[in-house]
Homo-oligomer: A and B are copies of this chain.
Amino acid sequence: MLDEKKVKQIVAEVLKQVDLQDRIKPGTIPVGVSGRHIHLSQEDLDLLFGPGYQLKVMKDLSQPGQFAAEECVMLIGKKGIIEKCRILGPVRKATQIEISVTDSYTLGVPAVVRDSGDTKGTPGLVVVGPKGAINLKEGVIVAARHIHMHSKDAEKFGLKDMDRISVKTSGPKALIFCNVLVRVSDQFALDFHIDMDEANAGNIKTGDRVELIA
């Protein structure tokens, strides 16, 4: 027969063994490290590269239809300049610049962490191209970590669009990334997107695998 003392002992014992391991979902997720980049509206592309300009595809990205363009722009902030910021295509409705916290110090803009598309009230920057410059009023974000997943992956992991989960890396510089946004679509391929600071803090690279903690 169990008395209260015995039950408490058992509970304490089990608690000692509790590890995050118990909450890790089977299956791993590939890492995609994003360097700083800019998404441009056609209007801003015209101002920077000339009217009716079309981006040239340098390399297809992991997400279907998305590509790194051959073209780059220069970013000018109060404290410094970043000479090369890669343009990602295709063009979007609104211009958005995604930088790391390190870049925010270089440029002298606040590091405002936002989900992609949520740019209201974010800082701006001067952007310079070969045919002109724009004084972007807002749209500079440190993109929140996120996982793209196909609906089938979401089903497998028991997750839905806009969930926030945690992700664990391994090795001597192992990290758990908290507040990871889940984006689900039939157009997405499974990929955990982090910036260069996050990749280097965990000593991980594109193609490494991470575990999902839900």
> A residues within 8 Å of B by Cβ?
1-4, 6-8, 10-12, 14-16, 18, 20, 22-23, 100-102, 105, 111, 113, 142, 144-145, 166, 171-179, 195-198, 200-203
Contact = CB atoms under 8 A, between A and B. Distances in A.
25 contacts: A2-B2, A2-B3, A2-B4, A7-B10, A8-B10, A8-B14, A12-B14, A16-B22, A101-B173, A101-B203, A102-B200, A111-B203, A113-B171, A113-B172, A113-B203, A142-B173, A142-B203, A144-B173, A145-B173, A172-B179, A175-B175, A175-B201, A176-B176, A197-B201, A200-B201
Contacts of A111: 203
A4 B3 CA distance: 10
B101 A201 contact: yes
A175 B200 CA distance: 14
Contacts of A197: 197, 200-201
| Copies of this chain, tallied across the complex | 2
Nearest to A171: B113
Nearest to A11: B14
Given A173-B179, A176-B178, A201-B201, A16 B7 contact: no
Contacts of A12: 14
Which are the 6 A-B pairs with shortest beta-carbon distances? A201-B201, A176-B176, A101-B200, A174-B178, A197-B200, A113-B172
Contacts of A166: 176
B173 A113 contact: yes
Contacts of A178: 174-176
